[in-house]
Structure 1
Amino acid sequence: MLCSLCGTRPATTADGRCTVCAAFRRSRAGGLMPTPAGPQTTRFLRSPVGLGKAVCVLLGAVAVADVLALGAGVHSRQVLSEGMADDFLTYDEAAGDRADMLYQASGSLQVLTFLATVVVFLVWFRRVRLNAEVFDAYAHSMRPGWAIGAWFVPVGALWLPHRVASGIWTASSPGGSSRPTAPRGLLHAWWAALLCSVAFSRYAEQVYSDAEEPDEILNAFDQVMAADAFDIVAAVLAILFVRRLNAMQGERAAQGPAPVVAPIPAERADWRRAH
């Protein structure tokens, strides 16, 4: 029988929950992991499983919309190319209109799935950041509010969200400070793919909007389709990132509260080395 909450892992408890979901439930019921700031800032762990699944579904929808856009782009390019072959003497305007309508519809679908994914992803990202604060408040260089705010800082959005994600990754690594941080290859790959996708999409949009001659329009189709391919790769890596971070936080929560060790001030560290 699968877990009654996440529906992905085998149920191991009497109430039908898996080990990971049961750990999050215990933390809410009283197994607190206090932050070092004191009782006033004590937080409860909240399961990111449901939000993570929603994010993955929406990212899958983004990838599907990109695939449909690729197909529509190939069709539109083919219709235009066939018209160019004989200087549009036998160009089928009805077929061209249908291809254009299909292409515009696929673009609208891309926008809708993207906006929905952004909203749910930010909610999930904030939740895993708050959980990470409970796991290890000293692993972060930015406050929890930056889990959302960092994405809207001009220019800074190129690296600030990655810094937030890096802190979450460190704090969520199973074993906490007693073990090495989990390998960051997936984290870096996801962020690199996201930056490449955004940059190439903006470039392709500019090329498409500036295209006037038939040859330029054909090249614009090629650029936009390449951007869609980049976006598919970024969506797949984002799904893997979300699933991996959810799994890490589940494992970390299952380990129970860990002792909080505050960093030693530099002057105290120097004194200890001297004595």
Structure 2
Amino acid sequence: MSRTVAPPARRRLPKNWRAVGRPALIASVLIALVLVTDIVETAADIAGAATVDDVVLWINAGLFVLAGVAFIGWLWRARANAELLVGPHGQRLTREWVIGSWFCPVVNLWFPYQVVVDVWRASAPDRGCLRDGLVVWWWMTFAVSWLFTRFITLVGIVDVAPLLLSCALNLASGVFALLVVRQISDWQALPRT
């Protein structure tokens, strides 16, 4: 005798839910382009190809700004969805900090992390077994990369080892950012009750 199993009931997304797939894709493509141009720029810098280095540096800077805008746009939408899942008091910071946290001096060293980790936690389908490690690794590599790159630029260090370390930190930060965007977007694509 065969036993028929009913398909799982289709769960509904909360009212006012906005898909994050397209903003995630745009942010991810731009982040990937930043990583590629960072590798090319570092290689040109090490090889002493000043003209190529200058051109790619400007392209990289422009892509970095576009990727930042796309990432914040994706985060704004993901944060709005997270609020629908856990309520406005389930997030430590108000929604305005999704944007302001990146530009407000001093607090920009930890507020962006708090915004992302709160969205991460709210978006996870199984909050009881959740680990924040990926977000922690993203934020640590991002912060260290940003500070180290600014330091070697300010001091004028052009040795190979620091340039390679800066590039490696940028790559690690970018890869972790891509993984965070992907995971939160995948979680938010799942139907909810």
TM-score, scaled to structure 1: 0.63
Q: Distance in 1 between matches of 2:67 and 2:116?
A: 17
Match status 1:223 vs 2:162: yes
Question: Cα distance, 1:218 vs. partner?
Answer: 4.8
Structure 1 consecutive aligned stretches of length 4 or more whose deviation exceeds 2 Å? 221-226
Q: In the alignment, is the contact (CA less than 8 A) between 1:69 and 1:228 conserved in 2?
A: no
Matched, 1:66 2:3: no
The residue type paired with residue 224 of structure 1 is L
CA change 1:71–1:249 in 2 (3 A) is same
- Percentage identity across paired residues of the two chains: 27
Which string of whole-angstrom CA distances, capped at 9 and with x for unpartnered residues, describes residues 203-245 of structure 1? 111122xxxxxxxx653x5433421221111111110110011
- The alpha carbon displacement at 1:183 in A equals 1.2
Query: Deviations 1:127-158 (Å, cap 9, x if unpaired)?
Result: 00000000001321111111111111101000
Q: 1-side partners of 2:51 and 2:27: how far apart? A: 29
Which of the residues 51, 71, 81 maps onto 2:23? 51
User: How far, CA to CA, are the matches of 1:167 and 1:234 in structure 2?
Assistant: 19
Deviations 1:76-103 (CA, angstroms, capped at 9, x unpaired): 1xxxxxxxxxxxxxxxxxxxxxx21111
Residue type of the alignment partner of 1:203: F
Please give the root-mean-square deviation of Cα atoms over the aligned residues, in Å: 1.8
Partner of 1:174: 125
1:181–1:171 CA distance, 2 compared to 1 (3 A): farther
User: 1:120 maps to which residue?
Assistant: 70
Q: Which residue of 2 aligns with 1:197?
A: 145
Does the CA-based 8 Å contact 1:150-1:156 persist in structure 2? yes
Per the alignment, do residues 120 and 49 of structure 1 end up closer, same or farther by CA in structure 2, a change over 3 Å counting? same
State which of 92, 104, 108 in structure 2 corresponds to 1:153: 104
Please identify the structure whose Cα radius of gyration is greater: 1
- Count of aligned pairs: 183
Structure 2 residue matching 1:111: 3-state secondary structure: helix
- Aligned partner of residue 198 in structure 1, secondary structure: helix
What CA distance in whole angstroms lies between the structure 1 residues aligned with 2:38 and 2:146? 14
Q: Which runs of 5+ in 2 are unaligned?
A: 1-9
Q: Which residue of 2 aligns with 1:162?
A: 113
TM-score for both structures, normalised by structure 2 = 0.88
Could you report, residue by residue, the CA deviation over 1:22-71 in whole angstroms, capped at 9, with x for unpaired residues?
Answer: 97xx64xxx52xxxxxxxxxxx1100010001111111101100110121
Q: Residues of 2 paired with 1:181 and 1:118: CA distance?
A: 30
Letter of the structure 2 residue corresponding to residue 201 of structure 1: T
Deviation at 1:73, TM superposition (A): 1.7
Cα pair 1:132 1:172 within 8 Å, conserved: yes
